[in-house]
Amino acid sequence: MKKRLYILLFLLFPLAAMSQNRFPKPDFESGYQYPVFTYQIPNETFWVGLDLVLLVLLMSWVAWAVVGKRKRAPVMWVSVFSVAYFGFFRSGCVCSIGSIQNVALALADSSYAMPLAVLLFFILPVIFTLLFGRVFCAGVCPLGALQELVNVKNFRLSKPVEAVLGIIPWIYLSFAVLYAVTRSSFIICRFDPFIGIFRLGGDIGLILFGALLLLAAVFTGRPFCRFLCPYGALLSLFSRVSVWKIKITPKCINCDLCHSACPLDAIRPPYENKVKESRIQGVKRILTYLVVLPVMTSLGAVILNMMSDSFSHANKDIRLYDMVAQNEKTPQNVPPLDVEVFYAQGGTLEALTVRTENIRGRFRTGATFAGAFIGLVIGCTLIGLSLKRTRKAYEINDAACVNCGRCFGYCPQNRYMKTTR
């Protein structure tokens, strides 16, 4: 009962902090003047520093729990705290997911001064992933933690469907970087499906989308993390080479309980692929891959390069150019406000043309690289689906595992080891 009370207090605290005075002060006719109150503005540097300290402490705690002690309970408490603090109290910002855009812009544009805190929010989870796996995703990320807390059932998707949906985060990442380096938009922050929930308001469409994702998370493991999150896609690369990883319990008895319990289907059962092929067939298949992969990469680069002008309209200067050019061609009695401001500031169509041509050039270059990357991802996904390998024991897919520790409680060998300590 006390645990439930503590959890309720954690979740209600941000609501109380955001409450406002909704009733106006009375207007006295006697000429009474209200005293002037001064309020000290909270030091944002303090809160950002506290965020970074908590980020490191929570990731360390999760690493100790899942890698060192093979326990799930600490991960759940971290999830509750993360949703309450990073989610509701700090309104989901600054977040490591959105920091991808800041880092990309800083690398592409030397004039952009990226705050040190944003860089640390990006790099610290990467460092912990290289050491201990995806402990940030386990429960420190408020978006993943919120989905973990509502998950009840685990309906599995077929391998092909899961593989196709798994391409979406890489496409999302490509466009997020493209729009960031061209200074057009930070689409990760703009279309965050949970920010409206954490801030208790915002775009109704995004709030509904976030609610649908949470509803899906009740029946399948973390749909946003698996099929949308670009930062999770990046961490999945680093987790493949992490130093200390979650491992299958020693003396595994092949009971299949861990595989059935995993909400992300990140545990591969033995003998899944029994098809044998001759050496000649294997060589032909590898040669086919070597031909298909560069073709897919080149095709993606060409397609997105051809579409770059359409993408460039996300930039405000390109949209302004279209409005100014249209007004020059067909003058209006009452031009749009943006056009009026442009002329009032002494802008000329010639100067704006030069600026927009530079922006379109950056879009053509960026879209070409983004298309090549997307084509490479699609090609590698197809290769991964066609690979055939016989497994003789249960294996953890390090790229997909988010270190939630759910399998620990289902493993009889793990429970036996705890009781014999």
Same domain, 97 and 244: yes
Q: Is the residue at 399 inside a domain?
A: no
pLDDT exceeds cutoff 50 at 117:
yes
Same domain, 217 and 285: no
Same domain, 69 and 196: yes
- Concatenated DSSP letters of 344-405: HTT--HHHHHHHHHHHHHHHHHHHHHHHHHHHHHHHHHHHHHH-----SS-EE-TTT-----
Q: Are strands 267-268 and 395-396 parallel, antiparallel or unpaired?
A: antiparallel
Q: Is the residue at 263 inside a domain?
A: no
Same domain, 95 and 148: yes
Of 98, 145, 89, 91, the residue nearest 118 (C-alpha):
98
d(C-alpha 268, C-alpha 248), whole Å: 11
Write down the pLDDT at residue 376: 93
Q: Which amino acid is at 412?
A: P
Total residues found in the chain within this entry:
421
Same domain, 185 and 328: no
Higher pLDDT, 413 or 259: 259
Q: Is the residue at 240 inside a domain?
A: yes
The secondary element (H helix, E strand) that includes residue 267 is strand 267-268
Reported as a single tens digit per residue, the pLDDT across 9-38 is 444 444 444 444 444 556 555 666 656 655
d(C-alpha 418, C-alpha 72), whole Å: 13
Same domain, 316 and 216: no
pTM equals 0.84
- Supply the range of the domain harboring residue 288: 279-386
Q: Is the residue at 23 inside a domain?
A: no
Reported as a single tens digit per residue, the pLDDT across 216-273 is 999 988 999 999 999 999 999 999 999 998 888 877 777 878 888 888 888 888 875 5
The secondary element (H helix, E strand) that includes residue 268 is strand 267-268
Write down the pLDDT at residue 12: 47
Taking CA atoms, 8 is separated from 13, 198, 290, in Å, by 9, 15, 56
Same domain, 237 and 103: yes
Same domain, 122 and 191: yes
Between 66-75, 136-145, 242-251, 365-374, the lowest mean confidence (pLDDT) is in: 242-251
Same domain, 72 and 135: yes
Same domain, 174 and 86: yes
The secondary element (H helix, E strand) that includes residue 71 is none
Domain count, the chain: 2
Higher pLDDT, 5 or 345: 345
Quick check: 296 and 378 in contact, CB under 8 A?
Answer: yes
Same domain, 239 and 288: no
Same domain, 53 and 191: yes
Q: Is the residue at 395 inside a domain?
A: no
pLDDT exceeds cutoff 70 at 204:
yes
* Average pLDDT of every residue of the chain: 84
Question: What percentage of the chain exceeds 90 in pLDDT?
Answer: 47
Classify the phi-psi angles of 222: left when phi > 0, otherwise alpha if psi is within -120 to 50, otherwise beta: left
